[in-house]
Structure 1
Amino acid sequence: MKITSTRRLFLQGTAITGVAAAVAGCSQKSAEEQKEENKKKNDAAAKEAEKLPSTAWKRLDYDQVAEGGTLSVAITQIPANWNPSHIDGNEVATTNVSNWKGNARSIIADEKGQMSPNPDYIESAEITSEDPQIVTVKFNQKAVWDNDGSPVTVNDLIAEWKACNGENEEFAAVTTQGWDSIKEVRAKDDFTAEIEYKNPFPDWLSFTYPSGPKALFETPEAFNKGYVNDPVPGCGPFKITSVDQNGGVVTMERNDKWWGRAPKLEKVIFKVTTQQNMPQAFANGEIDVIDIADGDTLGQAKGRKGAQIQRSNGLTWTHLTLNVNAGEGILQDIEVRKAIFAAVDRNAVGRTVVEPLEAPIVLKNNYVYMPGQEGYEDSFGDNLSPDADTEGAKKILEDAGYTLNGKVYEKDGKKLKFSIIIPAEAKSNEDRARQIMTNLNQAGFEIDLKTVPSDKYFTDYILKQSFDFVTFSWVGTLLAELSSSNTYLPDSQQNYTGFKDEKLTEINTRLQSELDKAKRREIANEYSKKVAESYTVLPFYATPNITGLKEGLVNIGSAQLETVDYTAVGYEPGKEG
């Protein structure tokens, strides 16, 4: 159930049962031959992506959904910070909980990804001036915050813009993108906002409604620490009624202040469950929905009586991220990074991961678009093999002055010795890391694995860039050009590579101000190719969304682009027990 409103970190993993390094030789191709090969790869990726639907959940009209019932969902931890706009709130647990209680749910999207305002929150939103660009938004005056019943007003939006636009760096916002494009937010009245932009901004619709009340954004202290232990007030069909920190349970019930149509479910329960225990918990009926990322989990999910298994295309993709500041500065050498990219067998990872899921294998060679998505182009060409090129990796190192000392290359007394950080009890992540370790050790590196507590994996290691290598997944969004680019910008808090290229800032400035869709896609691919030239994030494959659900559960599950209507989620009649 990967329904996200901003780009999120995800412990999506893979189950690798065998490790084999295929050695591919270097070949020379003419420009025309390479162009034709790239076209074939792009067409093949698009064809593979077409094998799955965009939305796979079972649909049932709202009036036909049974009244009542409880939905139990697993999360890996109680949110580290309940503020979804804070950097520590940039993880799936916070996102999933926030979605149900209405934070950042003001925009909805259909199966094709066409976005529109959610009428429960926004009556209208339109560009009323082109030079300068001004957007006028009228809020639904019935909308109120679930803690005290106070109305959602333009003042809440103004406070969020000021906190997240980057002008005050004491606010540890997950991203300033979008907010920093706004020149001013003005209140024509309590429920009518005028948003003036500094330059043309194509993704304006996603910055028209607050994700929390004014109190959340008033001071850095409130923003950063005010909601570490207490949930942020919401404005959705459900509200949090209890948080059991010791037992690891978050309980939601129908929001008695909700003004829209009544949700069908009576209660939603989030249970902290380790990734290792999730498959058995689903099989035992302790949770009602599970993301399936490996063959073992799929097998256990199928074992539950009446279980639904849904498969759709997704926005999630796995990768290997390199911290260029690690290893005594060795990773500052781009030739070392190129050798790493050459040595890792991406195809083997894809085969061992995706085939057991009974889904097509789609390698990803773009940092903005997913394979099959309009605008997708191969950003690497012949600079990245889908297979392991062990001998090619060694040649790169030797040409750069590295010499083999025993089994490990070194230069100036510094060995190519690194570790991969993996979360405890996340077998899929460990298996993927072992595949990488095996390939790199065969190419003259010395790689080991370092296991850390799963609840500290992001907060203490990834967010603090306390690692050499790390492998996890990114969950994309409907705003591919906006959210994807933020991951690689020099000053972005989501850039975990430590690599800084100001050229990316210049390209991104053009990308975020181009209103013509075709021209914007061209700039997006220019951006992606520039990221590819850095050799800092090795993309693996596009992960299909595969979900196991309790029998009878409808209007939720696997989807690539479509947003969930949480009022319509429920059960077929007679199956709500």
Structure 2
Amino acid sequence: MRTRLALPVALIAAISVTATACQSSSGQDSAQPDAKNAPSTASSVADYNPTPYDRIKEGGTYTTVGTFDDQGNPFNVNATLTASRVWAWYNADAITYSPTGEVQYNPDYFSDVKVSVEGGNQKVTLTINPRAVFNDGTPIDWTAIKATWKADNGSDKAYAASSTDGYDQITSVEKGRNAKQAVITFKGVNPSWSSLFTTFLHPKAATVENFNKAYVKKAHPEWGAGPYTVGTWDAHSGDITFVRNPKWWGRQGKLDKRVYVNLESTAAVNAFKNGQLDYVSAVDAESLKQIKGLKGTEIRSGGSPFEYSLYFNTKSSVLADKAVRKAFEESIDRTQIAKIRFQGLDYKEPLPGSAILYSFQKGYENNLSAVLKYAPDDARKALDAAGWKPGGDGIRVRNGKKLEVGYTLLGDDPLDKATAGAFAAMLKSVGIRLDINKADEADFSKILSDRKFDLFLSGNRSMDPFGARYLCDFYCSDRDSNITGAGSPALDTEIRATSKIADLGKQVTAANEVERKALQEYAFLPLFSGPSTYGVKKGLANVGATIFYNPLPETIGWEK
């Protein structure tokens, strides 16, 4: 699953723009001053103090920054990374991945998994742990798998599903030898099928009404399952506490409590320094400097399956013109943006060239560089040709209207402000005015779902390694998750054809080819990734830079 803003559980958005790395001079397509010394890939290092279950002590509390999201159902199109993370603490974590992306089945949910191909069609047989039960006493059986498929396969448009890809390839979910076995049949072969059922819905949560609305600012622990359940869910403060679940049948959680405290990023750094938090993200050089060297703590830093990109709303009047959008993109020096984001951090990476794969993954290609170069002179010529002539104040004018667009800036983070200022300066140099509109971080989901932006910077986190699966979520014109609104029915057809390719390698090759076409809509500009860097109290196990790995809640705790 990927994770992003208005994207699927697959693509749940990161609310704040935070990263970490180092970079360079204008025109060079690498995120460091000397392109010769640029690494060919971003970091793929994992750093999270991997610790066996039996070496973690009983008891203790684990406290971090966090809160619930507007939409807490990760299968919903308006869910973000926040929702996915909170969900995982009181719902099934049935399938996870290693840091490098190998599939891991959790025997507390799926005691056996068999995959076969008959007559060209794939069949997956999930045998569910006989003891598995939802907290309200409902058995976890084949009906939960069927309910999840029905809600997400796109056949009923009333469901605001995050991603239908893969689910729409399933022709049936049926009872196997008994109710504790689900037999899933696909039309053709789906090599990334595991990403569809990493978690699942209680059948009661899978009605249209509950799927869309039941989890809005609410938890439903009675429909959940797992080693932890909701202790407190404070609608006023936004704080959440998870406690051990007395109805859990599997391997017990090591912690007494898992606590989320609702704090802004600056306050979070101070809380970590004061010992109130066990873990904090170092989002920039300043925060890293503040938390480095604190007694009893350490820095954990590694690769990041995050990518931050600039989104263009093609429904806004000025940005409806593709030639103008291309000129905007040609005016943005991504190396300078990377320099701002990563200043003072000992990290180097190539600039990202794809929405679907990272440079450390097999099959990655720099699709963006094939269709776009930093070329402000070409941008000026294109704007001249489109009828936008320089005005007396340097801002271009056409038919009496100035060439200006809005940039939505969330919160008051200095690094985000500096990034916005850099965009404004770059665009001004070619005759475009950028109006920076400040918005509250709490309005993040609403801004995206209502498309209340011209330009918006946000990030995606990949929760699984199957990037090609999410091509449609980014680029299909008929997808709510494509917040740019760009694309065409013809391109949609080409995108969807890639999902039917059985071989993962061939699927990635085809997806790269189609992505190069999609990027020529000039509505989506990948900017930077950066490492994942965290301050962590010493002794905290299985927490840090994990790449594709999401440690099971019961494996998180304190070393003996």
TM exceeding 0.5:
yes
Hey, what does 1:373 align to over in structure 2? Answer: 361
**Whole-Å separation in 2 of the counterparts to 1:382 and 1:399:** 23
The 8 Å contact of residues 472 and 492 in structure 2, kept in 1 or not, is answered as no
**Whole-Å separation in 2 of the counterparts to 1:447 and 1:337:** 13
1:175 matched to 2:163:
yes
Secondary structure (helix, strand or coil) at the match of 2:174 reads strand
Aligned identity (percent) is 26
Alpha-carbon shift at residue 472 of structure 1 (Å):
1.1
The 8 Å contact of residues 135 and 194 in structure 1, kept in 2 or not, is answered as yes
Counterparts of 1:4-43 in structure 2, within 5 Å, are 6-14=10-18, 24=27
Query: 1:143 aligned to 121, 132, 142, which one?
Result: 132
Which AA in structure 2 matches 1:536? A
Superposed CA offset, 1:326-382 (max 9, x none): 1x2x21211111111111111011122224232213310112111121111121336
1:110 matched to 2:110:
no
Counterparts of 1:139-218 in structure 2, within 5 Å, are 139-146=128-135, 148-188=136-176, 189-208=178-197, 211-218=200-207
Identify unmatched segments of 5+ residues in structure 1: 26-33
Hey, what does 1:451 align to over in structure 2? Answer: 438
Alpha-carbon shift at residue 510 of structure 1 (Å):
2.4
**Whole-Å separation in 2 of the counterparts to 1:178 and 1:42:** 39
Runs of 4+ that moved beyond 4 A: 2-5, 22-25, 41-46
Alpha-carbon shift at residue 438 of structure 1 (Å):
1.5
Secondary structure (helix, strand or coil) at the match of 2:469 reads helix
**Whole-Å separation in 1 of the counterparts to 2:297 and 2:421:** 32
Alpha-carbon shift at residue 524 of structure 1 (Å):
1.5
Hey, what does 2:86 align to over in structure 1? Answer: 97
Hey, what does 2:243 align to over in structure 1? Answer: 253
The 8 Å contact of residues 507 and 523 in structure 1, kept in 2 or not, is answered as no
Counterparts of 1:536-555 in structure 2, within 5 Å, are 536-555=523-542
**Whole-Å separation in 2 of the counterparts to 1:187 and 1:571:** 41
Hey, what does 1:427 align to over in structure 2? Answer: 414
**Whole-Å separation in 2 of the counterparts to 1:15 and 1:546:** 8
The 8 Å contact of residues 343 and 439 in structure 1, kept in 2 or not, is answered as yes
Secondary structure (helix, strand or coil) at the match of 2:172 reads strand
1:225 matched to 2:229:
no
Hey, what does 2:123 align to over in structure 1? Answer: 134
Hey, what does 1:29 align to over in structure 2? Answer: none
Superposed CA offset, 1:189-209 (max 9, x none): 211111111232222223346
1:467 matched to 2:453:
yes
Q: Are residues 530 and 70 of structure 1, via their aligned partners in 2, closer, same or farther at CA, if it must alter by over 3 Å?
A: same
Query: 2:62 aligned to 57, 71, 83, which one?
Result: 71
Counterparts of 1:270-349 in structure 2, within 5 Å, are 270-302=260-292, 304-326=294-316, 328=317, 330-349=318-337
**What is the aligned length?**
546
Which AA in structure 1 matches 2:147? A
Alpha-carbon shift at residue 446 of structure 1 (Å):
0.8
The 8 Å contact of residues 311 and 545 in structure 1, kept in 2 or not, is answered as yes
Which AA in structure 2 matches 1:368? I
1:123 matched to 2:114:
no
Alpha-carbon shift at residue 101 of structure 1 (Å):
1.9
**Whole-Å separation in 2 of the counterparts to 1:542 and 1:45:** 15
Hey, what does 2:546 align to over in structure 1? Answer: 559
The 8 Å contact of residues 152 and 163 in structure 2, kept in 1 or not, is answered as yes
**Whole-Å separation in 1 of the counterparts to 2:266 and 2:444:** 15
How large is the Cα RMSD of the aligned pairs? 2.7
**Whole-Å separation in 2 of the counterparts to 1:213 and 1:44:** 51
The 8 Å contact of residues 13 and 459 in structure 2, kept in 1 or not, is answered as yes
Identify unmatched segments of 5+ residues in structure 2: none
Hey, what does 2:494 align to over in structure 1? Answer: 507
Secondary structure (helix, strand or coil) at the match of 1:487 reads helix
Which AA in structure 1 matches 2:14? F
1:238 matched to 2:225:
no
Q: Are residues 251 and 381 of structure 1, via their aligned partners in 2, closer, same or farther at CA, if it must alter by over 3 Å?
A: closer
Secondary structure (helix, strand or coil) at the match of 2:552 reads coil
Superposed CA offset, 1:154-176 (max 9, x none): 11221221121111111111221
Q: Are residues 468 and 19 of structure 1, via their aligned partners in 2, closer, same or farther at CA, if it must alter by over 3 Å?
A: farther
The 8 Å contact of residues 315 and 476 in structure 1, kept in 2 or not, is answered as yes
Which AA in structure 2 matches 1:47? S
The 8 Å contact of residues 55 and 562 in structure 1, kept in 2 or not, is answered as no
* TM-score (normalizing by structure 1): 0.89
Q: Are residues 430 and 11 of structure 1, via their aligned partners in 2, closer, same or farther at CA, if it must alter by over 3 Å?
A: farther
Q: Are residues 414 and 315 of structure 1, via their aligned partners in 2, closer, same or farther at CA, if it must alter by over 3 Å?
A: same
**Whole-Å separation in 1 of the counterparts to 2:199 and 2:450:** 28
Alpha-carbon shift at residue 477 of structure 1 (Å):
2.9
Which AA in structure 2 matches 1:466? K
Hey, what does 1:30 align to over in structure 2? Answer: none
Which AA in structure 2 matches 1:284? N
Hey, what does 1:393 align to over in structure 2? Answer: 379
Which AA in structure 2 matches 1:568? T
Which AA in structure 2 matches 1:538? L
Which AA in structure 1 matches 2:292? K
Secondary structure (helix, strand or coil) at the match of 2:531 reads strand
Bigger mean CA deviation after superposition, 207-216 or 512-521: 207-216
The 8 Å contact of residues 293 and 357 in structure 1, kept in 2 or not, is answered as no
Alpha-carbon shift at residue 306 of structure 1 (Å):
2.3
Alpha-carbon shift at residue 303 of structure 1 (Å):
5.3
**Whole-Å separation in 2 of the counterparts to 1:370 and 1:102:** 29
Alpha-carbon shift at residue 135 of structure 1 (Å):
1.7
Q: Are residues 169 and 108 of structure 1, via their aligned partners in 2, closer, same or farther at CA, if it must alter by over 3 Å?
A: same
Alpha-carbon shift at residue 145 of structure 1 (Å):
1.4
Q: Are residues 265 and 443 of structure 1, via their aligned partners in 2, closer, same or farther at CA, if it must alter by over 3 Å?
A: same
The 8 Å contact of residues 73 and 288 in structure 1, kept in 2 or not, is answered as yes
**Whole-Å separation in 2 of the counterparts to 1:469 and 1:322:** 5
**Whole-Å separation in 2 of the counterparts to 1:486 and 1:529:** 15
**Whole-Å separation in 1 of the counterparts to 2:494 and 2:461:** 23
**Whole-Å separation in 2 of the counterparts to 1:141 and 1:277:** 45
* TM-score (normalizing by structure 2): 0.91
Alpha-carbon shift at residue 48 of structure 1 (Å):
4.3
The 8 Å contact of residues 291 and 546 in structure 1, kept in 2 or not, is answered as yes
Secondary structure (helix, strand or coil) at the match of 1:362 reads coil
Query: 2:46 aligned to 55, 58, 61, which one?
Result: 55
**Whole-Å separation in 2 of the counterparts to 1:210 and 1:114:** 17
**Whole-Å separation in 2 of the counterparts to 1:19 and 1:464:** 35
**Whole-Å separation in 1 of the counterparts to 2:480 and 2:370:** 31
The 8 Å contact of residues 154 and 193 in structure 1, kept in 2 or not, is answered as yes
Secondary structure (helix, strand or coil) at the match of 1:344 reads coil
Hey, what does 1:364 align to over in structure 2? Answer: 352
Q: Are residues 430 and 310 of structure 1, via their aligned partners in 2, closer, same or farther at CA, if it must alter by over 3 Å?
A: same
